[in-house]
Chains A and B, each alone.
Chain A
Amino acid sequence: MTSAVAAFAIAAGVVAAMPLAAQRGQRGQQPPALPRAIAPRDFTGYWVSIVTEDWRWRMVTPAKGDYDSVPLNAEGRRTADTWDPKRDEAAGEQCRSYGAPAIMRVPGRIHITWENDTTLRIDTEAGTQTRLLRFGSNTGRTGVGPVSDRGPTGVGPVSDPDNASWQGRSVAQWELSGRGGGMFGGSPPKPSGALKVVTTNLKAGYLRKNGVPYSANTVLTEYVNVLGPEDNGDIWLVVTTIVQDPQYLNGRFFTSSHFKKLPDGAAWHPDACRAS
């Protein structure tokens, strides 16, 4: 029995000393794959929003003071109560309700394409906006792993107020599931199928057309999944939107929006921003 225990100790030491890669079999050193090449699903194409939720705040202009469902703080409510669409028009700010924290909630079609191998592009009919989702610079060319281009708060990319915009700066990554590790049972990370996007550097705007505000300090986190095809062939794009704004919100503001895939862009008709 003594020799068996000794053998166990020796073999256990060898196992512990082996790099994981060696234990799993050596793989050749290949250049990291480009985000476009390793996309877990095809996010591209034309999609139309299906407005089965929040209809009265999305399909028509809500009444001034109608900020139901939004966790506004007192300052947020005060600001919403000062909404004046004519003032916004005069200031050339009629796109305030078309910024990144709101745009996926505005009814319309969207068109998703690859701008290049590391950037997803979303064009919207509503307000003729363009979003560029750039895969993180520090995540390597693979575009997977943590969003590492973080600012001092640790929750989003570095702020650059001089270049703030309605769509801000968006850093994308393919979500990984699992952390791996552990000798037994720790499965290595795999693509979960979701796209995660963190957006900052936003111009202050509106969560709803009736002046429900978000500030320039907002951090927007989005998760995007393609679902289906369903039994009838439908393919869905679901976007979970999490808005964090310490200035106007009491807590995180969650919405999830759904889009149905279209066969083509035949119905594509971009329109201009409207303040009301």
Chain B
Amino acid sequence: MSLTRTSLLSALAGALTIPVIAHTPAASAAAPPHAASAQQSPAPSASLVQGGPSPAASAAQAAPQSQSLVEYDDEVQRAAPNGVDFTGEWAPRFHEDEPERVPGPELGDYLGIPINDAARMRAMTWEASIQTLPEWQCRPHSADYIWRGPSPLRIWKEVDPVSRQVTAWHAEWLRSVDRSIYMDGRPHPSPNAPHTWAGFSTGKWEGDVLTIKTTHLKEGYVRRNGLPRSDAATLTEHWMLRGDVLTVAAIVNDPVYLTEPFIRTTDYELDLHQWVPPYPCQVVEEVDRPRGVVPHSLPGTNDAATDFANRCGLPVEATRGGAETMYPDFRARIGAITSTCIAAQR
């Protein structure tokens, strides 16, 4: 019989009259690594339980009541899911697409986005002054776009106080809503459940990569110049920690407005001195306009839609976007071009 840490602990506990349940190989094989803890755990907090008990809660009900006060097993520890702690204050680094992300994109700039004609038409009829409508003024960025927004990020974790398992991650930016990413294995709700800015997100570990699936998003945008994203879209994210750098790959699939998945990868740097300030948005009448007016351009009347292409010396065809514009071979189609736009001309 090999001497294991657990058997020694059993001896220790026996000497101190503390009951111990040792995990046999058979028991370990029959239950997931967290099941041992779940035997002792009450159901997750009420705030996390929606639409029926979680698998952990079910396991707790099915399993015999544990009498132990000490449980530890190296094999269980080694078999624990991979994962990493993303907790912290993260500062955005605008080393990609800074003109789009900070001052904001120009009208008619759809470069490299796999949109279809329907999205293009909606974007071409969009007017920036729609943001002045009371209904739009406090609208937060949706879960898919917010990574590209000009905002600090805070990530924290929700931990079951007994099992010490991470049951949810939370992400919050300056102008966003608290976004929960459930890690307890719960299913996504019915397609008819309400859609929100944050959507409904569940996560799982793939090595040290946290992969997140999000559904139930309200209609939003993929770029802040009117390019729409429908409420039928889904979002897949991969969070990756590289030392003190967080890289997030966000992939949007939208059967209504995209012809291919739209991927962006964004970097944040850990900043322990950062603090996400409050954002008490207040709706005011910014523009005196007749009741019911919604700023827009009728199709074919938006004279500003080619300004970006003209200013930068780019083919209008390229600025109209579409999947072909995101592939390297598109360069052969437009030929060797030197752009004429620099930020100082904005």
Identify the 3 closest CB pairs spanning chains A and B, nearest first. Answer: A193-B207, A107-B328, A7-B15
**16 A–B contacts from the bound complex (CB under 8 Å):** A4-B17, A15-B8, A52-B263, A59-B318, A59-B328, A60-B314, A192-B208, A193-B82, A194-B207, A194-B242, A225-B240, A227-B211, A236-B263, A238-B240, A257-B265, A274-B336
Choose, from A91-99, A112-120, A161-169, A180-188, the stretch at the interface.
A180-188
Report how far A188 CA is from B82 CA in the complex, Å. 11
Chain A nearest CB, measured from B292 CB (Å): 37
- Let me know if A37 is at the binding interface, CB within 8 A: no
Contacts of B334 in A (CB 8 A): 59-60
Which positions 43-70 of chain A face chain B at CB distance < 8 Å?
A: 48-56, 59-63, 65-66, 68-70
Chain A nearest CB, measured from B84 CB (Å): 6
Contacts of A193 in B (CB 8 A): 82, 206-209
- Let me know if B98 is at the binding interface, CB within 8 A: yes
Contacts of B116 in A (CB 8 A): none
Contact B240 A255 (CB under 8 A): no
Given contacts A225-B209, A236-B263, contact A50 B8 (CB under 8 A): no
How many B residues touch the partner, as a band? 35 or more
- Let me know if B282 is at the binding interface, CB within 8 A: no
Report how far A256 CA is from B269 CA in the complex, Å. 13
Chain B nearest CB, measured from A271 CB (Å): 10
Contact B95 A253 (CB under 8 A): yes
Contact A256 B267 (CB under 8 A): yes
Contact A54 B84 (CB under 8 A): no
**Mask for A67-106, Cβ within 8 A of B = 1, else 0?**
0111100000000000000000000000000000000000
**Mask for B266-304, Cβ within 8 A of A = 1, else 0?**
110100000000000000000000000000000000000
- Let me know if A14 is at the binding interface, CB within 8 A: yes
Report how far A123 CA is from B139 CA in the complex, Å. 46
Which positions 202-240 of chain A face chain B at CB distance < 8 Å?
A: 223, 225, 227, 230-232, 234, 236, 238, 240
- Excluding A126-B328, A194-B207, 16 further A-B contacts by CB distance (< 8 Å) are A4-B15, A14-B8, A52-B112, A53-B264, A60-B338, A62-B338, A63-B338, A184-B72, A185-B77, A187-B80, A234-B261, A236-B251, A254-B267, A256-B249, A256-B265, A258-B249
- Let me know if A145 is at the binding interface, CB within 8 A: no
Contacts of A27 in B (CB 8 A): none
Contacts of A61 in B (CB 8 A): 336-339
Given contacts A68-B99, A188-B78, contact A50 B17 (CB under 8 A): no
**Mask for B1-26, Cβ within 8 A of A = 1, else 0?**
01111001101100111000000000
Contact B269 A254 (CB under 8 A): yes
Contact B98 A15 (CB under 8 A): no
Contacts of B99 in A (CB 8 A): 68-69
- Let me know if B136 is at the binding interface, CB within 8 A: no
Contacts of A255 in B (CB 8 A): 95-96, 267
Report how far A11 CA is from B15 CA in the complex, Å. 10
- Let me know if A108 is at the binding interface, CB within 8 A: yes
Dominant SS among interface residues on chain B: mixed
Residue of B nearest to A68 (CB): B343
- Let me know if B41 is at the binding interface, CB within 8 A: no
Report how far A160 CA is from B16 CA in the complex, Å. 63
Determine which of B262, B325, B328 lies in contact with A48 in the assembled complex, contact meaning CB atoms within 8 Å.
Answer: B328
Report how far A64 CA is from B238 CA in the complex, Å. 35
- Let me know if A29 is at the binding interface, CB within 8 A: no
Contacts of B77 in A (CB 8 A): 185, 187
Contacts of A54 in B (CB 8 A): 96-97
Chain A nearest CB, measured from B331 CB (Å): 6
Contact B207 A192 (CB under 8 A): yes
Residue of B nearest to A70 (CB): B95
Which positions 288-346 of chain B face chain A at CB distance < 8 Å?
A: 312, 314, 318, 325-331, 334, 336-344
Contact A63 B341 (CB under 8 A): yes
Chain A nearest CB, measured from B4 CB (Å): 7
- Let me know if A266 is at the binding interface, CB within 8 A: no
Which positions 79-116 of chain B face chain A at CB distance < 8 Å?
A: 80, 82, 84, 93-99, 111-113
Report how far A190 CA is from B328 CA in the complex, Å. 36
Determine which of A52, A231, A252 lies in contact with B326 in the assembled complex, contact meaning CB atoms within 8 Å.
Answer: A52
- Let me know if B236 is at the binding interface, CB within 8 A: yes
Report how far A18 CA is from B72 CA in the complex, Å. 17
Report how far A126 CA is from B331 CA in the complex, Å. 12
Given contacts A25-B2, A52-B262, A258-B265, contact A11 B8 (CB under 8 A): yes
